[in-house]
Amino acid sequence: MSSATTALSSLPDDVRLQRLEALVLASESLNRVSGLDDILKVILELIPVQLDCERATAFLRDQRTGKIHARKMTGDQHIEIVLDRGVGIAGYVTEAGESLLINDVQSDPRFDPTTDLRTGLLTRTMLCVPLRKPGGTLLGALQAINASQEEFTAADLAYLESFAALAAVAVEREQLAQEAVRAQLISTELDLARKIQKRLLPPPGKIDLPAPFSAWGTSQACYDVGGDAYDAMMLPTGECAFWVADVSGKGIGAALLMTTLQTELRALVRAEPDLARLAADLNTRVTAVAPLGTYATLFLGVLKAPAQRLRYINAGHMPPMWMHRHIADERGFAVSGMPIGLLPESTYEAGETAFAAGERLAVYSDGVTDAENTAGAIYEMDGLAASLARINAQEVEQIGQAVFEDLDNFRIGAPAKDDTTYLVIGLE
């Protein structure tokens, strides 16, 4: 407003007062209206009157394409104008952020005559000023053409710049309001995604399995939705299949891939008894839909009670941990192959080990062992092993709850940095 006051000082008192009153009126009107078109309409209805010109137009930059388009204009008819970046005077001003006063438009090399040729309108004189956020980001341009007095003046340019300042604030306000609406929609969609994802996982706690199998599991997403998956289920053979998978990354992308992996794995584990072929088939299916560089680590076990044997696939996952250290020293879990979805045509080799009655096995994602406390210390595998060693219980439910209580005590007050999944499997 102060720059306009200075520039208007050379005008007759009645004109100067009229223009300043128009700026005040525009400011008051912008506080009452909402909606981008209504905001621009308030501005553009005042400009031709105050500058005594033929037409005023507001150009805004499209965030998706980078082009600018005539969002609102005055005049007898609306003309659809879309300009590539830097094309035309409005395009130049939107890119350079420079105000222009041109009283011989046709001879200006920056002028694009396309619109004149389409409409029959002859553009003679022009003011064009940038629409700029208070922080400096360019939103578009405000343009006035064809002064009735044949020429625009420096006072006219300063006056249009003041209108542009008002318009930019109002446009930014409306854009922030639209972003708030979008954020609310995203929040609603995330809530729906979270509910869908919960249906793909067992309810937290003890999993319903027939004796002699028992399992307890839970998964905590770092954000609204997570990339970890787990389950324990009976197979037609009478064996119990269980797994924990950890998709690289976090958030929506990881959750989408987790959905694919969980769905495919549930189908394959019922149909394919050969775990090596199962893993290769799963890898092919996940690779087909996973973005480049996205993958999932997986530990999949199939436990046969009468034989007390565990067949497994460890596709780049954290090695499961036996509850008692002396068992862990005797029975490790060799890596079977690359993570799922990382490389096409990957092959896998299934492993096998004993799983005696009364034993308990913990399968987890690295969100457990990589958990940090407020001092920056890491829980690590030693922390999990120590937690398991302190537990004086045999029920998988008690074991799972005790481990998570210990983990939560360790990381209390520290923000989660990864999804956290923990599954305990027992054989009675």
216-254 per-position pLDDT tens digit: 999 998 877 778 999 999 999 999 999 999 998 777 778
181-190 average pLDDT score: 67
Q: Is residue 259 a contact partner of residue 265, using CB atoms and an 8 Å limit?
A: no
The answer, yes or no, to whether residue 178 has pLDDT greater than 80, is no
Least confident of 23-32, 60-69, 256-265: 23-32
Residues of the chain with CATH 3.30.450.40: 2-180
The answer, yes or no, to whether residue 96 has pLDDT greater than 60, is yes
15-30 average pLDDT score: 62
The answer, yes or no, to whether residue 420 has pLDDT greater than 70, is yes
317-335 residue pLDDT tens: 999 999 887 776 778 888 8
Least confident of 124-138, 153-167, 172-186, 409-423: 172-186
51-58 average pLDDT score: 88
Going by C-alpha positions, the residue among 307, 318, 306, 400 that lies closest to residue 360 is: 400
Query: 2 or 428, which is more confident?
Result: 428
What pLDDT sits at residue 4?
Answer: 47
Kindly give the interhelix angle for 36-51 and 154-200, rounded to the nearest 10 degrees.
Answer: 180
Q: Is residue 26 a contact partner of residue 5, using CB atoms and an 8 Å limit?
A: no
Bridge-partner residues for 68, per DSSP? 61, 83
Least confident of 138-142, 177-181, 190-194: 190-194
Write the DSSP symbol of residue 75.
S
Round the average pLDDT of the chain to a whole number and report it.
Answer: 86
Q: Is residue 350 a contact partner of residue 337, using CB atoms and an 8 Å limit?
A: no
Confidence band (pLDDT; 50, 70, 90) for 266?
very high
The answer, yes or no, to whether residue 187 has pLDDT greater than 90, is no
d(CA 224, CA 278): 31
What pLDDT sits at residue 1?
Answer: 43
Residue 77: how many other CB atoms lie within 10 Å? 6
The answer, yes or no, to whether residue 76 has pLDDT greater than 60, is no
Residues of the chain with CATH 3.60.40.10: 201-427
The answer, yes or no, to whether residue 172 has pLDDT greater than 80, is no
- CA quadruple 202, 206, 208, 211: dihedral, nearest 10: 140
* Three-class secondary structure of residue 398 per DSSP: helix
- CA quadruple 411, 417, 418, 422: dihedral, nearest 10: 0
The answer, yes or no, to whether residue 19 has pLDDT greater than 70, is no
The answer, yes or no, to whether residue 203 has pLDDT greater than 80, is yes
Query: 244 or 86, which is more confident?
Result: 244
What pLDDT sits at residue 200?
Answer: 82
What pLDDT sits at residue 16?
Answer: 61
28-43 residue pLDDT tens: 665 665 666 777 777 7
Kindly give the interhelix angle for 13-32 and 36-51, rounded to the nearest 10 degrees.
Answer: 170
d(CA 303, CA 208): 16
Q: Could you tell me how far CA 425 lies from the centroid of its own chain?
A: 35
Domain 2-180: CATH superfamily, name plus number: GAF domain (3.30.450.40)
Q: Which helix (H) or strand (E) holds 425?
A: strand 420-427
135-166 residue pLDDT tens: 788 889 999 999 998 899 988 898 888 888 87
What pLDDT sits at residue 283?
Answer: 95
Q: Is residue 68 a contact partner of residue 139, using CB atoms and an 8 Å limit?
A: no
267-299 residue pLDDT tens: 999 999 999 999 999 999 999 988 888 899 999
In CATH, the architecture of 201-427 is 4-Layer Sandwich (3.60)
**Radius of gyration over alpha carbons of the chain, in Å?**
34
What pLDDT sits at residue 80?
Answer: 75
Least confident of 3-12, 167-176, 398-407: 3-12
